[in-house]
Amino acid sequence: MRESALLEIEGLTVRLASGAARPVLDGVSLRVAEGETVGLVGESGSGKSVTGRSVLGLMPDGAEVTGSVRVAGRDVLALPPARLREVRRREVAMVFQDPRASINPVRRIGDFVTEGLRAGGTPMRAALKAAEELLESVGIEQPRRALRRFPHEFSGGMLQRVMIAGALAGGPRLLLADEPTTALDVTTQAEVISILTRLQAERGTGMLFVTHDLDLAAAVCDRIYVMYAGRIVEEQTTDGLFAHPRHPYTAGLLAATPRLESDEPPRGVPGRPVSLAEDPEGCAFAARCRFAAPGCAAERPPLRPVDGVSVACLRAEELVHD
């Protein structure tokens, strides 16, 4: 872990106003350093996207929130609206998984890419010039013409490139990528990931990469946090996690991923994820875990260091998964 933390989330707990039995996020803590790419992985419904959105202060309406989310030392959850807008414009940007749901369909591409620049006082001529350069950097051909076009005139892959350009317009120090390739074909996925990693390296931007695809996380991330039922259950380097996962859930996710070099068919994680209507007294994964002991259903394991790895498992010392 690098010393200078750009993003620090500490003990973040988010409980919905609807009266769900358990929190959406339960004591989540993670860090991203300058220039580092950190993965956040887990099944759908585990709380990954809510964690990413918390960095922008985008919490569900009426949610009860405790803990802190610090960007460059400032707790965004405690900022007044005007200061929070400044953070969103200058410090942090987000690439959402569905650009068609995130870009206004009745406004031109130029309006979208230049919006943050114009809000910061950049003259229109300079903003359009910067937007043209940004579109060119993400592989949009004829960028000047593209600025005059509407979102429906672009394919999904091209529109995701536009979203990346818009996210980078303000020169953010931290980029949040929330399943940025989910709706794209494999070839376009690779192109988008290549653009993200290249631009991140050129700009020294830190990135929180939210995904359910472990292979994508392996390709781009320095470290990975594994999330289950709103809690972090494991954190270690990408190489270490793939070579020796320490939590049974992590091992299950890896076993469920097809491998071309292996003759063994993928094995799905048995059972189903814990819903918000359920709040197990002990480990939330115990009902699905083939290594569960009687005490696992009674005691909730904390995230703790074990052999240089952070893992939330009562049996972590005795279980090493290959």
Banded model confidence at residue 127, pLDDT cuts 50, 70, 90: very high
Q: How confident is the model at residue 1 (pLDDT cuts 50, 70, 90)?
A: very low
Rounded to whole angstroms, the Cα distance separating 246 from 236 reads 9
pLDDT (0 to 100) of residue 99: 87
The DSSP symbol for 88 reads I
pLDDT value of residue 322: 53
* The pLDDT value given to residue 60: 80
Q: Edge-to-edge, what's the strand order for the sheet holding 74-75?
A: 25-33, 5-15, 64-71, 74-75
**CATH number for the domain whose boundaries are 5-106+150-311:** 3.40.50.300
The predicted model gives 56-61 an average pLDDT of 86
Confidence of residue 54 (pLDDT cuts 50, 70, 90): very high
Nearest Cα to 208, choosing from 240, 243, 167?
Answer: 167
Q: What residues have CB less than 8 Å from 27, skipping those under 6 apart?
A: 11, 12, 13, 67, 231
pTM over 0.85: yes
Q: Predicted confidence band at 180 (pLDDT cuts at 50, 70, 90)?
A: confident
Distance between CA atoms of 221 and 173, rounded to whole angstroms?
17
pLDDT in tens, 264-281: 778 888 899 999 999 999
**CA atoms of 31 and 100, how far apart (whole Å):** 30
Distance of alpha carbon 266 from alpha carbon 101, whole angstroms: 33
- As a whole number, mean pLDDT of residues 16-42 equals 92
Confidence at residue 4, expressed as pLDDT on a 0 to 100 scale: 66
